[in-house]
């Protein structure tokens, strides 16, 4: 970076520069096709430039279409010093690294270097690839073919990033065999250490001016110190979180601890394989692992239900769970003793020993009394699935832990998203993240929502908890889907609803001879479903949470978004129950101060799928009658874009007829 780029300017001193850059005749207009000045974007860029100059925090909400990426990249590239940009997903990470940052860098002629840093599971590992090629533990023909592709890829790639190898699906099981984890990485002991793609990516990140990471990586590092972000943080002058509304959930995930029976069974499988490969004469390996496997399965069987979530206080004292947990710890200790006696026979046996010790420590720590982290309280709960049991230790609030992370060196922290506030009130987000009294601003979308969209809440729907609710939603949505000519998203709050909607719509489309292709979450990857949806032009896509955000379909392919219910968190969530109880102890109302704002922010994300540019038009259909019947309904719809509103299905259908005539 140039010397003067890093000098600290007078507060607000960049306003004139920003005006000039974002002007109709500025550098961005000259270099970026289709760029048009937008008042909100220019003002947002000025506020971010000020926060960067003064090394302050800014919470910046910008409505869809503001162009927030350019609004933070321009000041960051010119005056940000060493910058970390963290975004919501790996797809957005790739988009920033491959397209957005190079475009802005070129337009500004800014002499900055960029690096991309992902979690180690994204990079092919030379050691594990060679091991998999040698021991041929592959079961499917697909995996054999994929392994051949990966062997070719490793010879030609500079980065080792699996995103570059489109011939092998990201979800292919073979990736687990050719990448490392923190537990299975040999580190400096590895013969391929000099060529390691993970180490190379971390080194490049150390040296770059701008590093692009994702939230999972950022917080995994804070918790595990295993992603290379920890080494970057001390030298960073500016940290920008895009899609910052996702941070509370991501941080909660990483500041907590989870230990599961499937981790134990995976370890047993590896102990058996490594023991037989390197120390066959050292122990009767099947008899070493069998009691541990049995104890792990018995722990799962302590709960006969198929799927269940319980706080530790809800587990009956007479339950088999606590004795089964003690038994698993004992059996694991027995296996550790054998591994210790054989560890020097092979590096991989030593690795299994270290994993077993760590798992044992997690099992002991899970319900150990009084353990705290950075002053945070924890909720202990279990989640049983068909064949595994997970024991979670989740922070009641991440605010004290995250505040501690932000202490120390003075730097700029920018939090930006289209959905951080509830009717311009940022209190919910600030209290979740521990950002009390920090400046927060909102900039409106440049779209004319009054002309471009219509909010339709159908009449006479039953209450959302009634047995036939999903069928009633489909009955109300069908005439709208027909009127729209397909071109619809149906966003559901549960997977069960997705399956029911898909089943009913298949029947109805067939009965009515409707020619709309149907895409259902789970039948293919998200990217593939969206590509098929866009190219069909008249499709209907049914999805749950993963389609509520980060999905961009412009133009006529999407003209109707149907939302089945207001997205309140499930009432059986032990963490939610504990958070509500904590708020009520402070004299606050758990529903008003936590559940309602969280649902509104989530709903704003879903609603944001509809209008993506100045020419888009469409209907947002929210089926939940509570939007009208409950006192809090008004607060919800007032937080949505200012669409015209109707309860009359004929008016909503007429909107599509008008759209076609225009």
Per-residue pLDDT, averaged over 348-362, amounts to 91
d(CA 68, CA 41): 6
What would the pLDDT profile of 195-214 be if each residue is shown by its tens digit?
Answer: 999 999 989 988 999 999 99
**Contact 493/521 with Cβ under 8 angstroms?**
no
CA angle, 332 then 333 then 336, to 5°: 90
Q: How far apart are CA 500 and CA 471, in angstroms?
A: 8
Using CA atoms, how far apart are residues 345 and 12, in angstroms rounded to an integer?
64
241, two tokens: 């979180």
Unique residue bearing structure tokens 């607000």: 12
Q: Across all residues in the chain, what is the average pLDDT?
A: 89
Handedness of CA 259, 184, 224, 398 (dihedral sign): negative
Question: 474, 542 in Cβ contact below 8 A?
Answer: no
Q: Which of 259, 285, 291, 431 is nearest to 345 (CA)?
A: 285
Tell me the average pLDDT across 24-34. Answer: 89
Q: Residue ranges per domain, the chain? A: 20-119+199-253+398-443, 123-196, 257-394, 449-661
Least confident of 149-163, 210-224, 537-551: 210-224
Measured distance CA(490)–CA(542) in Å, rounded: 5
How much is the pLDDT for 545?
83
Residue range 460-497, pLDDT digits in tens: 999 999 999 999 999 999 999 999 999 999 999 999 99
* pLDDT confidence tier of residue 227, bands split at 50, 70 and 90: low
Residue 654, C-beta contacts closer than 8 angstroms, at least 6 positions apart: none
> Which positions ≥6 away from 207 have C-beta within 8 Å?
113, 115
Mean pLDDT of 107-131: 91
Asked if the domains at 20-119+199-253+398-443 and 449-661 fall in one CATH topology, the answer is yes
CA-to-CA dists, residue 515 to 485, 532, 560, angstroms: 9, 15, 17
The Cα 105–Cα 69 span in angstroms is 13
In Å, what is the CA distance from 537 to each residue of 93, 398, 430, 598, 652? 27, 43, 41, 33, 20
Burial per residue of 255-292, b for 16 or more beta-carbon CB atoms within 10 angstroms, e otherwise? bbbebbbebbbebbebbbebbeeebeeebebeebbebb
Q: pLDDT band at residue 8, thresholds of 50, 70 and 90?
A: very low
pLDDT computed for residue 11 by the predictor:
46
Neighbours of 95 (CB within 10 A): 15
Q: What is the pLDDT of residues 283-318, one digit of tens each?
A: 999 999 999 999 999 999 999 888 888 999 899 888
Helices 321-342 and 285-300: angle between axes, nearest 10 degrees: 160
Cα–Cα dist 617/559, whole Å:
6
The answer to whether the beta carbons of residues 620 and 454 sit under 8 Å apart is yes
pLDDT at residue 299, as a whole number: 94
Which tokens belong to 74? Answer: 């321009």
C-beta of residue 227 within 8 angstroms of C-beta of residue 263 = no
Question: Do 415 and 239 contact (CB within 8 A), yes or no?
Answer: no
What digits encode the pLDDT tens for the residues 498-548?
999 999 999 999 999 999 999 999 888 888 889 999 999 999 999 998 888
Start-to-end Cα distance in the chain: 50
Buried residues in 430-447 as b, exposed as e (16+ CB within 10 A): bbbbbbeebebbbbebbb
Phi, psi (degrees; rounded to nearest 5) at 622: -105, 115
Q: What is the pTM of this model?
A: 0.88
Q: H-type helices in 233-369, by residue range?
A: 247-255, 261-278, 285-300, 321-342, 347-366
Mean pLDDT, range 635-656, rounded to an integer: 92
Question: Which ranges of 377-468 would DSSP assign to H, the alpha helix?
Answer: 399-406, 427-433, 449-452
Whether the pLDDT of residue 9 is over 80: the answer is no
> What mean pLDDT is predicted for residues 355-366?
92
Q: In this model, does residue 3 exceed pLDDT 60? A: no
Q: How far apart are CA 648 and CA 473, in angstroms?
A: 15
Binned at pLDDT 50, 70 and 90, residue 121 comes out as confident
Give the ranges where 55-140 is alpha helix by DSSP (H): 68-79, 90-95, 101-108, 126-135
CATH 1.10.275 at 257-394, yes or no: yes
165 three-class SS? coil
- Which fold does the domain 449-661 belong to in CATH? Rossmann fold (3.40.50)
DSSP per position, 370-421: T--BTTB-EEEEEEE-SS-EEEEEEES-SHHHHHHHH-SS--EEEEEES---
Listed residue (260, 261, 249) closest to 394, CA to CA:
249
Query: Is 442 a residue whose pLDDT tops 50?
Result: yes
Give the per-residue pLDDT at 138.
Answer: 67
Question: Residues, the chain, total?
Answer: 662
- Range with the lowest mean pLDDT among 167-176, 206-215, 511-520, 560-569? 167-176
DSSP label at 96?
I
Biggest alpha carbon–alpha carbon distance for the chain:
81
Distance CA 268, CA 334 (A): 12
How high is the pLDDT of residue 71?
96
Write down the pLDDT at residue 2.
Answer: 35
All residues at 6 or more sequence positions from 530 whose CB lies less than 8 Å from its CB, including other chains: 541, 551, 553
> 3-state DSSP call for residue 379?
strand
Confidence of residue 228 (pLDDT cuts 50, 70, 90): low
Ranking 102-111, 143-152, 531-540 by mean pLDDT, the lowest is 143-152
pLDDT reported for residue 368: 76
Residue with tokens 């004292």: 317
Q: Rounded to 5 degrees, what angle do the CA atoms 170, 93, 60 make?
A: 140
CB distance 308 to 383 below 8 Å: yes
Give the DSSP H or E segment for 508. Answer: helix 495-512
How big is the CA angle at 452 (ends 448 and 458), to the nearest 5 degrees? 125
Nearest to 393 by CA among 532, 253, 212: 253
pLDDT mean over 174-189: 84
DSSP type of residue 112: -
Q: Kindly state the helix (H) or strand (E) to which residue 200 belongs, with its residue range.
A: helix 197-207
The CATH homologous superfamily for domain 20-119+199-253+398-443 is P-loop containing nucleotide triphosphate hydrolases (3.40.50.300)
CA triplet 225, 130, 140: central angle to 5 degrees? Answer: 100
DSSP β-bridge partners for residue 213: 86
What's phi and psi for 397, nearest 5 deg? -145, 140
């Amino acid at each position: 970076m140039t010397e003067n780029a890093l000098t600290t300017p007078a507060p607000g001193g960049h306003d004139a520069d920003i005006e000039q850059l974002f002007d109709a005749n500025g550098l961005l207009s000259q270099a970026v096709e289709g760029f048009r000045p937008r008042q909100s974007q220019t003002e947002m860029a000025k506020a971010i430039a000020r926060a960067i100059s003064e090394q302050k925090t800014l919470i910046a909400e910008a409505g869809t279409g503001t162009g927030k990426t350019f609004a933070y990249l321009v000041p960051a590239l010119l005056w940000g010093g060493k910058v970390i940009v963290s975004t919501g997903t790996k797809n957005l990470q790739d988009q920033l690294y491959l397209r957005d940052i190079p475009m802005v860098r070129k337009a500004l002629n800014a002499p900055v270097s960029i690096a991309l840093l992902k979690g180690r599971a994204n990079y092919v590992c030379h050691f594990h690839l060679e091991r998999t090629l040698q021991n041929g533990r592959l079961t499917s023909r697909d995996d054999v073919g994929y392994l051949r592709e990966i062997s070719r890829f490793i010879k030609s790639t500079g980065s080792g990033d699996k995103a570059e190898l489109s011939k092998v699906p990201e979800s292919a099981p073979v990736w687990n065999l050719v990448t490392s984890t923190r537990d299975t990485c040999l580190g400096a002991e590895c013969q391929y250490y000099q060529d390691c793609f993970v180490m190379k990516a971390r080194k490049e990140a150390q040296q770059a001016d701008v590093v692009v990471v994702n939230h999972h990586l950022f917080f995994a590092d804070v918790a595990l110190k295993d992603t290379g972000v920890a080494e970057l943080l001390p030298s960073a002058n500016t940290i920008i979180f895009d899609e910052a509304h996702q941070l509370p959930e991501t941080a909660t995930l990483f500041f907590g601890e989870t230990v599961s029976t499937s981790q134990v069974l995976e370890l047993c499988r590896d102990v058996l394989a490594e023991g037989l490969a390197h120390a066959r004469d050292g122990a009767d390996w099947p008899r070493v692992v069998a009691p541990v496997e049995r104890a792990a399965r018995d722990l799962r069987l302590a709960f006969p239900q198929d799927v269940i979530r319980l706080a530790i206080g809800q587990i009956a004292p007479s339950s088999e769970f606590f004795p089964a947990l003690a038994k698993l710890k004992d059996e694991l200790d027995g296996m550790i003793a054998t591994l210790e006696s054989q560890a020097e026979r092979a590096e991989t046996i030593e690795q299994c020993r270290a994993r077993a010790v760590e798992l044992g420590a997690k099992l002991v720590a899970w319900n150990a009394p009084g353990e705290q982290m950075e002053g945070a309280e924890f909720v202990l709960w279990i989640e049983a699935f068909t064949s595994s049991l997970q024991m979670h230790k989740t922070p009641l609030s991440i605010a004290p832990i995250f505040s501690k992370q932000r202490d120390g060196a003075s730097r700029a922290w920018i939090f930006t998203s289209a959905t951080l506030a509830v009717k311009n009130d940022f209190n919910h987000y600030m209290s979740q993240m521990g950002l009390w009294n920090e400046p927060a601003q909102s900039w409106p979308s440049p779209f004319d929502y009054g002309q471009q969209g219509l909010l339709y809440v159908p009449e006479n729907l039953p209450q959302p908890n009634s047995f036939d609710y999903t069928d009633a939603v489909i009955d109300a949505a069908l005439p709208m889907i027909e009127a729209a000519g397909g071109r619809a998203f149906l966003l559901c709050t549960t997977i069960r609803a997705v399956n029911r909607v898909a089943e009913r719509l298949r029947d109805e489309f067939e009965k009515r001879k409707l020619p709309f292709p149907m895409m259902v979450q789970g039948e293919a990857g998200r990217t593939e479903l969206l590509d098929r949806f866009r190219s069909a032009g008249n499709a209907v896509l049914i999805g749950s949470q993963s389609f509520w955000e980060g999905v961009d379909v412009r133009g006529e392919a999407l003209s109707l978004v149907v939302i089945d219910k207001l997205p309140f968190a499930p009432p059986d969530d032990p963490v939610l129950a504990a958070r509500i109880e904590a708020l009520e102890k402070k004299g606050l109302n758990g529903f008003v101060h936590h559940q309602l704002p969280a649902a509104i922010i989530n709903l704003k994300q879903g609603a944001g799928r509809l209008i993506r540019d100045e020419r888009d038009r469409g209907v947002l259909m929210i089926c939940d009658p509570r939007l009208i019947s409950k006192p809090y309904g008004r607060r919800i719809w007032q937080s949505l874009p200012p669409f015209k509103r109707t309860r009359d299905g004929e008016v909503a259908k007429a909107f599509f007829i008008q759209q076609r005539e225009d």
